[in-house]
Structure 1
């Protein structure tokens, strides 16, 4: 009679030893939430560093010092029609030709028949005491550099996704997180004390690089440290930190109103949070995967003590987990999958390209609306605050809709409804701009829900062997949308203020229509192989005639080529046996 396996021989996951969700995981998750707040501040602070403020050509010094700003504008600044409000306003970048022949006002000659470009500027200080615009004269033909600085930040996100994700798999979670902290702190301080705007742009790139790398790796760490049943709600719940950051940031800017102090205020917490991360050990799951069993045992015992968990033989339990991991690795050695595997088979290729477009549009509209709240009428602080508040119900609605209405219907609804409200914003009369702002906030609510839904949907739609590759590639191409989104402001100035709304509406509706071409994954068994994925995504008409064969394989077509004995063995084991029971 074979001996009964010990408890340690039955352990298959590290969470069974340290606890599926205890004090240690709870502390770590709180740190991730705090980090999400900080991540939001660093990502979306640009509208408060370089806000939309009034400026005009500078009055001649010494000669017209006693002349009020309004008198100067009446005399020397031409007027033009504001395309958004359809009202007259003073030009910001031109003035009438002015000649000074003496030392008093009578010696100033203003030629109202000729306009010239401003050489120097004065800025309105009624809302902000200091901005990046004034610091480096980033106005008129140089105003696009503000959008460039935000795009540089998003480019840092892109590089982090491509490089630091692989680095964390090879070097460990902790070294990459500490490296990213160094990037954020050094680059953050460099941005505060930047001697030129070029240096500021470089600093923004490395802030984005560190921010993305840090919190992406921290998210992976959380998923590796809790039980399977907690990964879904922790994964979605982690996004609430970012939403809370959107709510808090405008109040920080409202209280300070100085770009230098605002930048300093969001950089110093990075240093404070960094001290906390020094107390976090390496991921025990990663240590086991690398065969560093002594260190894994040390870290595991530390976490067990905090969670008040006990195990008769920790070393044996960890060795069993290692053994299972090695067996899985051997089974996957021949599966060196990459992005080209997503494009090799026709049905998966279509699905992948559709998802790429939807991800790009989602990031483009989300950051386009959020970063350009200053372009809307009304108080900029309140507008940004509302855009943050709407993210909370959006995430909650997404969670409930995913549970009760599947995947396609919620995703389709959020995309199309977002497009419709953007189109409605176009037809709002010029004299009720508050309604336009309301429609844009509804658009922000819809696109935030889209972000929450598409992560879950994408993870389900790809087979297991390419799931990480597929989700990673979608997240990577989404950066194309976030990099280009800051330039929507320049598009509105070069064409018409309503053009961005039309662009948002068009791409959102197109994305929604593409969802109709995607399969439903709700309550469906996840695919494991590329062949399963190809069959799953194949049109129904091509699958007719195979239903009878599916009966003998428990509904899993990939078992068709196996022997009867192998089929029975697989169908009687999890997760397939669980699927049949369900």
Structure 2
């Protein structure tokens, strides 16, 4: 029991510095916003699929196929180009597609149902790609000691977004169901902009504690260190 109490006290001491450092606190708030927008957009677009029109089963099949494309593309983009470009690009793609579908629904003449469905499905694909990436990206943004706390808090934010999704989707009438997509689109564009404030974590050494994280942020190459490295390289090259 004493060991359990000590470990609990130690984990609490590791979490508190997040709220004392402006850099960590800002990063933590950005991650919470990203998770909230993801869940709100994902489930909101799902609720809208049955109210846009045409065949609901075919529309849902299109959503499912493009969602699978988003997941598969994440496997390649994530490891080749990095977590940050995928986060930004997929959010911007989803936001642009959702806003475009709403504008077409409000201002375009004629029957544009299939175009609206296609743009909404593309928005769902972008959100799905971010969903597959955000679990890895959020964990890598923080040290090992608080990683489980960050993921747990992020999931709480996502559940709040999921609970809010049906109410946001219900704002439009049956004839204007796609108009609510502009809310998901604008939020996705904002989330894409916030993602620019996060660092890239691909092929980087992850810190084990908040102290290690601060050391990495504060570490700057000094002129003496550069000169020493250059001297060592010259010495090694001149050896037989």
- TM normalised by structure 1 equals 0.35
Deviation for aligned residue 1:332: 5.7
Query: Match of 1:457?
Result: 137
- Deviation track 1:478-504 (CA, whole Å, cap 9, x = no partner) reads 111000001123211399544412111
How far apart, in 1, do the equivalents of 2:53 and 2:224 lie? 59
Query: Match of 2:102?
Result: 426
**Corresponding residue to 1:366 among 27, 42, 45:** 42
Question: Conserved in 2, the CA contact under 8 Å of 1:348 and 1:534?
Answer: no
Where do 1:351-430 residues align within 5 Å?
A: 351-428=27-104, 429=108, 430=110
Query: Match of 1:476?
Result: 156
Question: Conserved in 2, the CA contact under 8 Å of 1:418 and 1:442?
Answer: yes
Measured on the aligned residues, the alpha-carbon RMSD in Å equals: 2.7
Q: Which has the higher strand share?
A: 1
Q: Which has the higher helix share?
A: 2
Query: Match of 1:491?
Result: 171
Residues 1:335 and 2:15 aligned together:
no
Structure 2: gaps spanning 5 or more residues: 227-240
How far apart, in 1, do the equivalents of 2:215 and 2:181 lie? 39
- Deviation track 1:552-578 (CA, whole Å, cap 9, x = no partner) reads 9xxxxxxxxxxxxxxxxxxxxxxxxxx
Residues 1:548 and 2:222 aligned together:
yes
How far apart, in 2, do the equivalents of 1:375 and 1:434 lie? 13
How far apart, in 2, do the equivalents of 1:354 and 1:509 lie? 14
Deviation for aligned residue 1:340: 4.2
* Counterpart secondary structure, 1:427: helix
Deviation for aligned residue 1:423: 1.3
**Do the aligned partners of residues 375 and 551 (structure 1) sit closer, same or farther apart at CA in structure 2, a change above 3 Å counting?**
farther
Question: Conserved in 2, the CA contact under 8 Å of 1:363 and 1:478?
Answer: yes
Where do 1:2-401 residues align within 5 Å?
A: 335-337=10-12, 340-401=16-77
- Deviation track 1:498-554 (CA, whole Å, cap 9, x = no partner) reads 441211111001000001111111111001111223454x5xxxx47x3239969xx
**Corresponding residue to 2:125 among 445, 455, 480:** 445
- Deviation track 1:402-460 (CA, whole Å, cap 9, x = no partner) reads 11001110110000110001111023225211100100000111100010011110111
Structure number with bigger Rg: 1
How far apart, in 2, do the equivalents of 1:515 and 1:344 lie? 22
Where do 1:527-542 residues align within 5 Å?
A: 527-536=207-216, 538=217
How far apart, in 1, do the equivalents of 2:92 and 2:197 lie? 15
How far apart, in 2, do the equivalents of 1:496 and 1:367 lie? 18
